[in-house]
A and B are shown apart, each in its own frame.
Chain A
Amino acid sequence: MGLKLGQAVKMAVKSILAKKGRSFLTMLGIIIGIASVMTIVATIDGYNRKVMEAFEAQGTNKITVSLSLSDGSNGFEKIYDYCQGLGDDVVGVTPNTQMWGTVKYGAKTSDTMDWQQRPRVYFGSDQYAKVNSFTVARGRDLNKIDIDGYHQVCVLGARAAKAMFDYADPLYQDITINGVPFTVVGVYVEKDAGSSYSVDSVIALPYTASRFFTDMSEDMSECAVKVKDSQTVAPVMAKLQSYVNSLTQDGERGWGYAYSEQQWRDESNSILTMISVVLGSIAGISLLVGGIGIMNIMLVTVTERTREIGIRRAIGAERASIVTQFLVEAAMICGVGGVIGIVIGYGGTHLAGTLLAGLVGEEMSLYPSLTITLAAFAFSVSLGILFGMYPAIKASGLQPVVALRAE
């Protein structure tokens, strides 16, 4: 006994198709609502993920220390030495200085490359790889002897190697940077295969080699300190800050500060969440309006079809069967609307990604995650059930004879 679900679905399809225009207009509310909520949530979620990935790729648990002393002594070395005294809490210390330069290998020059592919030259200490979470794939890393001996060697990130050497073996090849020759002694493992502008485009030189470049200042004023874990960030940062303060004598003899991206990240995270909630709720209002539209149209449908309901009741439909019929119909309108909304949401998210990319100047192809997609679909179907409930119960509640009398 009773109406089978498959049958109810067939009936719903028939009834929706019988009134195509009205069904579509009803769906429109759901389509717009789902598409906008999805675009907003997915864009923010995707952007957040990009930011996270960028942080992860740069290496987590890092503290940046900037120190410039007016007596001209090397700030980095002071920090480096100080950190060696902090024991296990500090994983590594390296300068964080980038140099704009032309990298050449034979006839190949970085000047003609797409800026996203172009290798980027960094000065590092022997702990550069540790701080930036690189591991050596081939050859060796920079070491203390390279630093102390002003060796003209370099280690390439996977992308930089690819950009300069294609599939040729870069090891022990000579490249020039702004005309100064360097020998490739190692290649790092690729960290961030996904994005186009990548940390893997790095070329790491011993920071002492900066003396070969006339336009580089001798001191490495900014450096990165990598600590053991996220709990260690704050205490080490406090120590570094007070050390910096003691060196500059609170700004009398230069300037300096210590900060952590982690703080910045947490802040940006909570700001993004807040934006997401605010925009999401605004878009959610359109979903609510869509849902009320569903309820309204289902009420009209129920009224129009009171006689049909009466006939069905008279020939043996239980109340539950009538409720099922109308609920399935409402859920289906919302489900189909949801699917269309999701498709538009995908497009919207992609578009938002492109617009954001224009703003940020970084390529960003954003797509909603599977979780968001499934959640959007489930949400729209339950919206149909929620707002279809009242009309459906109303439809089933009539005495058969009363329903039959309706015109």
Chain B
Amino acid sequence: MSDHSGSRPSGFDRRTFMAGAAGSALVPLAARAAAEEARAPVAQDPALPVDVTLRVNGKDKRLSLDARTTVLDALREHLKLTGSKKGCDHGQCGACTVLIGDRRVVSCLTLALAAEGQEITTIEGLATNDRLHPMQQAFVDNDAFQCGYCTPGQIMSAIACVKEGHAGTDADIREYMSGNICRCAAYPNIVAAVKQAAPDIMKG
């Protein structure tokens, strides 16, 4: 599942190549990060990055971020956790859904600075060792995707949907999963996956 396990024989894939190729463009930003005085309680200089510690999948991550950075961009661009996807970037498609605390939210409309001190769970934080989370397994078993782009958001949303008690009927699942758009229209299989995983998740 991990994109950064380094297990590929060449140690070199499309994503690491792209990141390397873009590296030169990042230099001016990195140079700015040297500034020490950028800390939060009073209004900070918008030109300077801000130190922030995000707790992601149980680990504290210290970052120096432009105040504009969303949780989604912090995950993808700064922590290389690219499981959460950027679809619309306006809170309309659900591809970026993560859990903050036990709540599902769209990470594209959540400022990283506003998420400091809260537990963020992403798709990368679900599996234990090589064992998929029941909802991940249910999506595989039910063929609940085609292209897969919306799937990490669907799975995060589906876990919360079950825990909220909104997976009792097909109609409930459809209503409470409506914030996750699937352009391939795998909806019937997504409903089946949520139904399959629900009892396991409710058992804890």
Chain B associates with chain A = no
- A contact set with B: CB distance below 8 Å: none
